[in-house]
Amino acid sequence: MRIYHFLISLGIVILDRLTKLAIERRIPLHDGIQIIPGFFRITHLENRGAAFGLFADSPSEWKIGMLVLFSVVALLIVGTLLWKNSHSMSSTGIGLSLILGGAVGNLWDRLAAGHVTDFLLFYIGRYQWPAFNVADSAIVIGATLLVFEIVFSKNPAEEKSSIRS
């Protein structure tokens, strides 16, 4: 099963790279295309910070290095968890695969360009969600799968007691 989990991660990295390259080549920086008026726009932004633009305005020369270090540590942890828990196709394995692929996609940008390209922008009126990309989406979906697994799965003791009942 490991091969399938790592193929999911690879698929996310490839989709993330292709979409970011398309945006970078076709839409000028800070420009965009209206898709659903008043709700959704494809735009071209560069995020020099962490998720959702956190620390983007920080003048620290250590910012990129710390973000890269954090990403590498997260990749090692997620990769190890995925390796140990990929005996079957489960929501945990899929969640970890999505997180791994998303983390690699954003780390790739940060190492190659010093920023992450974001392009999906949802808003209502003057209220907007921070722009994001395919890698960010994969990380959020993967984390959501893990949370659902933790909250809604039965532990082995509960399963045994429900079988006896």
* Catalytic residue numbers, as ranges: 118, 136
Residue of 31, 34, 30, 68 whose CA lies nearest to 49:
68
- Indicate the helix (H) or strand (E) that contains 115: none
Phi, psi of 86 (to 5 degrees): -110, 45
Phi, psi of 140 (to 5 degrees): -65, -45
103 CB neighbour count, 10 Å cutoff: 25
106 CB neighbour count, 10 Å cutoff: 27
